[in-house]
Amino acid sequence: MQPEQKTDSVMQRASEKEPTPEMIRDQELFREVGLSLEEFKMITHYLGRLPNWTELGIYSVMWSEHCSYKNSKPLLKRFPVDGPRVVQGPGEGAGALDIGDGQAVVFKIESHNHPSAVEPFQGAATGVGGIIRDVFSMGARPVALLNSLRFGQLHHPRVRYLFEQAVAGIAHYGNVIGIPTVGGEVEFDASYDGNPLVNAMCVGVLPQEELQKGVARGKGNPVIYVGASTGRDGIHGATFASEELGEDAEEKRPSVQVGDPFMEKLLLEACMELVKKNILIGIQDMGAAGLTSSSTEMAAKGESGMELDLDQVPQRETGMTPYEIMLSESQERMLLVVEDGREGEVQQVLDKWGLQSAVVGRVTADGRYRIRHRGNIVADIPVNTLVDDAPVQYRSGVEPAYYRENADVQPEKSLSQVDPVDALKRVLASPNVASKEWVYRQYDHMVRTSTAVRPGSDAAVVVLDGLDKALAMSTDGNSRYVYLDPREGGAVAVAEAARNVVCSGAQPLGITDCLNFGSPEKLEVFWQLEQAVDGMSEACRRLETPVVGGNVSLYNESKGTIHPSPIVGMVGLVENRRHITTQSFKRDGDRLFLLGETKAELGGSELQSVIEGKVAGRPPRVDLEVEAKLHQGILAAIRKGWVSSAHDCSNGGVAVTLAESTFGEGLGAEVDVTSPWDPIVFLFSESQSRAVLSIPPQHGDAFRQLLEEMGVPCAEIGRVTGDRLTVRVNGQQVIDTPVQDLRSIWEGAIPCEMNRSSTN
């Protein structure tokens, strides 16, 4: 066919209500769907004519930040993505790493921030549903879920409502589908008052030969649509996610989607059966930008074209236009490509699970993306212009003034006079540090009977059926540090995630990340993004944990910009179940060791936040060489069977590390240390690369010798005993409190806040 003939045959308008191509141009209607004049010109150039409304919609979602990463692509290139274990790096639904025995772990994290700000229950629930589809569309059996959450201050009733509903939504989806939610993290800060963050991570496992890809290949092969029917829900969700939450966020409410975890459970089982039968050429979920992004990406990856007939698409509302069908983000839908003639086999499996399906198109060889509706061609676009040729923005950031001003702040001085017991109680009562049981007791964290370390320890551990191995996993990110110094903060996020995994007895393998930032058009925000990516990259290189996938969520602004919040999802491998270690003290009489060096680092600390109500100064620095040595030392000791408990030092410093270790079994500790610092600094400094380990008395000496040989600073600081936490610093008793008192404060803080009413 000649291009000119085709242009003639593309319908200009699918409905009377749609603007004509000329109107789009003359009235600059492209701006309404988030495209710039420049981008509109590019589209016109690629098509060789004016786009109609449907085509414009398709470009707008495919070129949105959410799908095209137009602002972040150049930065993502800086991440290390290779390594001996990498089976699948960024570019598919999820990344995959070799875990031996022919198996791979498949995992990814994704944001659902904007939908959760508008409708927290469904927004969070559909976020979980989406990330699960990303993992099983790779052919992997999902085995665990995690999440990372950011909310404003709990004294606002609306914030309580958002928090309560988002947690309930996450719980609902995971519980119903039957995948344990084994971990996560939550931070509270005023910067999230109007813009909460909801990131969900899913981890799956598969035999490597069953790894699937999202490709469409083979001219004439059928494209099969499976799952829920398409409605008008979520239209323009991808664009919505790529804009600031303005005053009109409320009006964008129709774009809220409702999740059906029951449907997804059926879809999951059906897809697992199809994978086992080995009949799929390609499979991809319909996530952001729905049918449009799944089908175009499959065609682009397969270097093919595709022709879709929208009349075949199952629809649950009448009179939907091509624009609406293409851009709908109805949930629980999948797109499959199979060999011509094997539709029947697919059908059989789908029928068993009671899923509706339809052949909605065919793979073509001409690189065109062609859509039919009621017999007319309503879009005809070169596929690669949607996916590979999406415009990219190159920017460079500007260092914000606050960063310079913070250089002079010295919180160590202003905080040194605080009473240690009072400080400990206030830090333990801070919702950032307080027990998150209120959250995770709503998650079924035991279904699948593989959870060896339940939520509440440094990392969760999930055992693998039939193998002696286990997977440790954790999500981390300290947004205050990143705000104060994005480069350090980015590196710390990776280091802390790895440290958590190590303290559980695992070798860190790799990460997935979610970059939650404000508007990249603000050059200070872009600077934060750039710096954070550099810090994370550096840490990933040094700790040998490549980035195998991730997600970017920009434009997180409502009343102001959120704290820059890169989240790291780390997966580690426990070689032998005997190595699984948790943070609670186990035995009276065990010797206590503090590994690592304590410096006077209170910038961005929990202590500063609860006492002074501010985030200022420089955050703790991380020396990646030191960090790596710490990991090796802890793992070596664990593998020798010498470690009763291991808990890293993070928010709230050594004081919180010690207190939290006593809570599990109610076993107290007597600690006696010498330190160059004031007691308050020693106790609450958040210096990196530290952990507290308890060691049975008979192994203590050998342990210390091993760690010293490995170059890890190692101080014996006391022992596990009784039911009080007692701490002497430089001969002065600074804490002597019953564990039970501390525990009630720590356990009660969030439930107590949440018992107050909330409103939507």
Partner 1 sequence: MRFAVPVFPGSNCDQDCAKAVREVLERPADLVWYTEDSLDNYDAIILPGGFSYGDYLRTGALARFSPVMEAVAEAAEKGKLVLGICNGFQVLLEAGLLPGAMRVNDHLQFRCSIQTLQVENNSLPFTACYKQGEIIRLPIAHGEGNYYCDDQTLQELEDRGQIAFRYHGENPNGSVAGIAGIVNRRGNVLGLMPHPERAIHDWMGSRDGARLFRSMLQYWEGMYGAA
Partner 2 sequence: MPTMKSGPVWEGKTVYKATITVRLKESVLDPQGSAVQGSLHSLGYEEVRQVRIGKTMEVWLETADFQEASDRVDAMCRKLLANPVIEDYEFRLEKGA
- Which member of 550, 564, 617, 718 binds ligand ADP (CB under 6 A)? 550
Query: Minimum distance from CB of 458 to Mg ion (Å)?
Result: 4
Residues 336 to 395 in contact with partner 1, rule: CB under 8 A: 353-354
Residues 243-272 touching partner 1, rule: CB under 8 A, are: 260-263, 265-266
Interior angle at CA 654, CA 649 and CA 656, nearest 5: 85
66 as an active site residue: the answer is: yes
Beta bridge partners of 594: 692, 715
Residues in binding contact with partner 1, number by CB under 8 A: 31
Tokens of 333: 């839908």
What angle is formed at CA 692 by the lines to CA 587 and CA 454, rounded to 5 degrees? 70
- Contact between 458 and Mg ion (CB under 5 A)? yes
As a whole number of angstroms, the distance between CA 114 and CA 95 comes to: 24
Q: Using the rule CB under 8 A, which residue among 441, 522, 541, 586 binds partner 1?
A: 441
Residues in region 411-440 near partner 1 by CB under 8 A: 440
Could you give the maximum distance between any two Cα atoms of the chain, in Å? 90
Q: Whose CB is nearest to ligand ADP?
A: 550
Residues 128-147 that bind ligand ADP (CB under 6 A): 134
Judged by CB, which is closer to partner 1: 450, or 608?
450
**Tokens coding 315:** 């629809």
Our CB check for ligand ADP shows the closer of 91 and 341 to be 91
User: In Å, how far are 235, 535, 626, 631, 632 from 539, measured between CA atoms?
Assistant: 39, 6, 12, 13, 15
CB of 152 to ligand ADP, least distance (A): 24
For position 648 contacting Mg ion by CB under 5 A, the verdict is yes
Nearer to Mg ion, 221 or 650 (CB): 650
End-to-end CA distance of the chain: 56
Closer to ligand ADP by CB, 206 or 288: give it.
288
**Beta strand pairing call for 280-285 and 181-188:** unpaired
3-state secondary structure 211-278: CCCCCCCCCCCEEEEEECCECCCCCCHHHHCCCCCCHHHHHHHHHCCCCCHHHHHHHHHHHHHHHHHC
Separation CA 513–CA 81 (nearest Å):
12
Could you give the 3-state DSSP secondary structure of residue 579? helix
Distance CA 12, CA 614 (A): 57
- Indicate the residue among 440 and 481 with the shorter CB distance to partner 1: 440
- CA dist., res. 344 & res. 720, Å (int): 65
Q: Is 631 a catalytic residue?
A: no
CB of 579 to ligand ADP, least distance (A): 29
Shortest distance, position 350 Cβ to partner 1, whole Å: 13
What is the token pair recorded at 539? 């840490």
Report strand pairing: 669-673 vs 645-648.
unpaired
Fill in the DSSP letter of residue 180: -
**612, 618, 581: which is closest to 452 by C-alpha?**
581
Q: Should residue 580 be labelled a site residue for partner 1 when binding is judged by CB under 8 A? A: yes
Position among 243, 444, 513, 678 found at the interface with ligand ADP (CB under 6 A): 513
**Structure tokens given for 219:** 């001219």
Q: How far is the CB of 464 from ligand ADP (least distance, A)?
A: 23
Residues between 64 and 93 that touch ligand ADP (CB under 6 A): 67, 76, 79, 90-93
Residues 289 and 67 sit within 8 Å (Cβ to Cβ): yes
Q: How far is the CB of 113 from partner 1 (least distance, A)?
A: 23
Residues 6 or more apart in contact with residue 178 via CB below 8 angstroms: 265, 444, 447, 448
Confirm or reject binding of residue 175 to partner 1 (CB under 8 A): yes
Element housing 737 (H / E): strand 732-738
Considering beta carbons, is residue 538 or 648 the nearer one to Mg ion?
Answer: 648
Our finding on whether 187 is near Mg ion (CB under 5 A) is no
Judged by CB under 6 A, how many residues of this single chain contact ligand ADP? 17
Shortest spacing between CB 109 and Mg ion, in angstroms = 18
Q: How far apart are CA 437 and CA 140, in angstroms?
A: 29
**Active-site option among 112, 236, 445, 579:** 112
**Which does residue 557 bind out of partner 2, ligand ADP, Mg ion, none, counting CB within 5 to 8 angstroms by kind?**
none
Binding site for partner 2 (CB under 8 A): 118-119, 121-122, 228, 231-233, 253-254, 256-258, 260, 262-263, 316-318, 330-331, 354, 756-757, 759-760
Judged by CB under 6 A, the chain residues 91 through 110 that form the site for ligand ADP are 91-93
From the list partner 1, ligand ADP, Mg ion, none, partner contacted by residue 353 (C-beta under 5 to 8 A by kind): partner 1
- Tell me the C-alpha distance between 640 and 637, whole Å: 5
Q: Measure the CA–CA gap between 299 and 172, rounded to whole angstroms.
A: 34
Site for partner 1 in 479-498 (CB under 8 A): none
Residue 664 phi, psi dihedral angles, 5° rounding: -55, -55
Least separation in angstroms between CB 112 and ligand ADP = 11
d(CA 310, CA 229): 12
Annotated binding site: 69, 108, 110-114, 133-134, 257, 285, 329-331, 513, 550-551, 553
Q: Which of 66, 172, 445, 579 is catalytic?
A: 66
Sole binder of ligand ADP in the list 111, 435, 450, 551 (CB under 6 A): 551
Least distance in Å: CB of 132 to Mg ion? 25
Q: Report helix angle 523-542 to 486-503, nearest 10.
A: 40
Residues that bind partner 1 (CB under 8 A): 168, 171-172, 175-178, 260-263, 265-266, 353-354, 440-449, 451-452, 454, 463, 577, 580
Q: Which residues bind Mg ion (CB under 5 A)?
A: 458, 500, 648, 650
**Residues annotated catalytic, as ranges:** 66, 112
Give contact residues for ligand ADP (rule: CB under 6 A): 67, 76, 79, 90-93, 134, 287-288, 513, 515, 547, 549-552
